[in-house]
Chain A
Amino acid sequence: MLLPIVAAMVLKVIFTPASQGVEITGALIYFTIPMPFMDLPIGESQVNSWLLIISIIFLCLFMTHGIKERPNLKRQYVIEWAVDKVKAMVGESMGEYFAGFASFIAGIMVLSAFSSLMSLVGLFPPTSDINVVAGWAILVFFIITYYKMKCGPVNYLKGFTKPVALLLPINIISEFATPVSMAFRHYGNILSGTVISVLLGAALRTLSAKILGWLPGFLGDIPYLQVGIPAVLSLYFDVFSSLLQAYIFAMLTMMYVSSAFDYDLYSQRQNDKQKKKQKKAAANA
């Protein structure tokens, strides 16, 4: 299990020249497509995302392949457990009305977690690109706004003046702060892991050069200290932080969306509408 990770670490150490020093860069840009407003660079984050989507498609197909009413496959137990958990979580924190959101929340969690976990194999994690996370946050913002609008645009606009009309500007700011904060929280956490990893790598390289540089020939050039220590930190920054951020992002999405929708008001309005229709029909008749 850990062998590919160690291999990726060793590869990264070998292919990173010692003279590079401390340098933190964004994603590699493979090519650029000219587009209106601004050019679209297709970089590592986009390609990695697409590759991830393809592997998730195959994962889904593999997991749901050959599932039966009477399970005899281990993977069926695993996938049923996972789907059950997500459904239970969505049902608990969003309510019956949003039961259909289970697959969306699962999508957020899977995409976020696997994107972040890509750094484990030495790939560029797409979540450390602000554009990627911002896209998700903006989608969530659209959903929030849609559910707020469901109770009527007037009620939506009225909501900004609650509890006091004086708070109108603050309410507007907080409305737009939601996606921004979500995006920056996720992006910052993942990027900080990368930054710290790079800093630590550079520090360990310098340290090993200072301490073990007396060894003859190429033996002195190998950064020995860089072999084991980053793995421990990677456990926190790559694994724990990745899963935690995915969970937080999904949780916040559920909370914001479910709190945006006032079911009582909505059903009341639907009732009123139906009554009006009936009245109209009665008047016409």
Chain B
Amino acid sequence: MQTSEIISVNIWQIIISLCNLLIIFVILKKLLFKPIQKMLDKRKNMIDEQYDKAQKAQDDAEAAKAEWDDKMSTADAEAKGIIDSANKRAEKINEKAALEAREKADAIVRQAQVDADLERKKAVDDIKKEIVDVSSCLAEKIIEREIDVDDHRKLIDSFIDKIGEDDDNQ
């Protein structure tokens, strides 16, 4: 096959090679640099977006935290108030209960005293009656005659009353 000379200048070959370089330039620009630049831009946008998102999330979190802290502090105060009021109420109830109990006790004691007094009086009366009966019986036996029980009773009652009074006074 025919070969060209080592150095053979041909204007058309020069132009062809010039065009080849231009074609390669266009190919690289369209097929390599443009898609990669596009991808890089996209990536940049994506990263920016992510940064924005992250910033927003952080802001949100901080706001939520501040709100929470605020709520927590008010809740603390509220709880304290509630506990205080509860304590006060409990104390009041306690006091009231104690007072009532004391009153009740006092009343019971008083009632008991009254009852005891009554009992005693009754007992005293019974004893008086017994004594009168016994003494009248004795007197009847002694004088062997019927005496007016009612007169005697009155007499003895007055006598015993005197004794009782003396007893009471003593």
Contact = CB atoms under 8 A, between A and B. Distances in A.
Interface of A: 24-30, 35, 37-38, 40-41, 43, 45-46, 49-50, 53, 56-57, 60-61, 63-64, 67-70, 79-80, 83, 102-104, 106-108, 110-111, 126, 129-136, 138-139, 191
Contacts of B24: 53, 56, 107, 110-111
Contacts of B17: 45-46, 49, 126, 131-136
B25 interface: yes
B13 A57 contact: no
Given A64-B35, A68-B39, A139-B22, 6 more contacts: A40-B13, A43-B4, A46-B17, A60-B32, A106-B33, A131-B8
A139 B9 contact: no
Contacts of B11: 37-38
B169 interface: no
A26 B4 contact: yes
A263 B20 CA distance: 30
A26 B13 contact: no
Chain A contact residues, majority secondary structure: helix
A102 B40 CA distance: 16
Contacts, number: 137
13 contacts: A38-B12, A41-B4, A43-B13, A49-B20, A53-B23, A57-B31, A69-B42, A79-B36, A103-B25, A103-B29, A133-B17, A135-B15, A135-B19
A190 to B, nearest CB: 12
Contacts of B39: 67-69
A130 B24 CA distance: 19
Contacts of A63: 32
B28 A25 contact: no
A136 B33 CA distance: 21
A67 B20 CA distance: 27
Contacts of B18: 135-136, 138-139
Contact of B21 (A102, A111, A129): A111
A234 B39 CA distance: 39
Nearest to A26: B4
A95 B37 CA distance: 19
Nearest to A127: B17
Contacts of B43: 69-70
B3 A135 contact: no
B170 interface: no
B16 interface: yes
Nearest to A54: B27
A92 B7 CA distance: 36
A134 B16 CA distance: 11
B2 A29 contact: yes
B31 A60 contact: yes
B133 to A, nearest CB: 125
B9 A131 contact: yes
A242 to B, nearest CB: 16
Nearest to A31: B2
Contact of B5 (A26, A80, A102, A110): A26
A230 B57 CA distance: 66
A29 B16 contact: no
Contacts of A29: 1-4
Nearest to A103: B29
Nearest to A131: B13
A103 B13 contact: no
Interface in B98-121: none
A40 B42 CA distance: 47
B46 interface: yes
